[in-house]
Amino acid sequence: MGAEFASKIFLLYLLIVMCVDGRERARDDSPVEGTHGEHSHAHPSSHMDHMDHSLLVFFTMNDLKVGRTMPVYFPKKDPSKSPSLLSREDADSIPFSYEKLPYLLQLFSFSKGSPQAKAMEDTLKGCEIKPIKGETKFCATSLKSMLGFLQGIFGLESQFKVVSTTYLTKSSILFQNYTILEVPKEVPAPKMVACHTMPYPYAIFYCHSQETENKVFVVSLIGENGDRVEALAVCHLDTSQWSRNHVSFKVLGIEPGSSNVCHFFPEDNLVYVPMPTMPNDVLVNVM
């Protein structure tokens, strides 16, 4: 379970309660941010209709070619409605433990069995899963704790930068065909830390770093309705140890170890990489 969780954790906030419909949310208390998305999307590929569109973020490095078109789900969230990171002092004053879930549900006024309670339960359980071999993981409850984890990975005196997906145009369409406009650019990443937002009453980032080789890319995309996205993508080069049931293999129709697996990141997920040693060595073409 650990290996599969670590490699697809970035999807959790999409998948935890994506099945919750508007009626359920209307009956309950105010939702935990990140536990659902608005299902407003185009229909770019009829043969994909049977598949959960939120899973369509996977591809392989062979797809990183100018002119390549693929269906992609990009969740859209209103930043003004997203929870903020707490101060270190405030975060430390609130227990962050699955054992304390009943107390936490009472603290945040969420009823047991509600979608919000399920989201909090899954987040707490996910954060407490032991790391897989070669992985270092941490759930950051404050900016200061996140920075401390990053310094532990990159070194106390090292400098690092953050890379993320940027929506150059705004629309309500979540799922459509996107075409690669330019030669994708690789972000030099001898080490990387991926931080994924988790559904919770306040901002939680699941951050992890793995010893296996990964590549980081920025991909310029245009949607069939004209949406422009500078999309952050990470490619995992070694999938031999992944579970055969991993969702990416089902989406791509491949076997463990037979191919690299890449995925796009939502706008609010982050990748940290070391600052380049050369001033102009920021992005390099992959083709």
Look at the chain and count its residues: 287
Backbone angles phi, psi at 236, to 5 degrees: -95, 115
The pLDDT of residue 54 is 67
Report the share of the chain in percent with pLDDT over 90: 56
**Burial of residue 1, with CB atoms counted within 10 A of its CB: 0-12 exposed, 13-18 middle, 19 or more buried:** exposed
Got the DSSP string for 116-163? HHHHHHHHHHHHHSPPPTTEEEEEESBHHHHHHHHHHHH-TT--EEEE
Among all chains, which residue has been given the structure tokens 């009829």? 46
Statement: residue 193 has pLDDT above 50 = yes
The pLDDT of residue 282 is 43
Q: Are 265 and 164 in contact (CB under 8 A)?
A: yes
Distance, in Å, from the CA atom of 172 to the CA atom of 195, rounded to the nearest integer, reads: 25
CA–CA–CA angle 74, 197, 166 (5° rounding): 40
Statement: residue 15 has pLDDT above 60 = no
Between residues 239 and 273, which one has the greater pLDDT?
273
Mean pLDDT, rounded, for 126-149: 91
CA–CA–CA angle 73, 77, 80 (5° rounding): 165
Cβ-based neighbours of 269, under 8 Å, separated by 6 or more: 10, 164, 165, 194, 195, 196, 197, 232
The pLDDT of residue 277 is 56
Distance, in Å, from the CA atom of 93 to the CA atom of 104, rounded to the nearest integer, reads: 12
Statement: residue 204 has pLDDT above 80 = yes
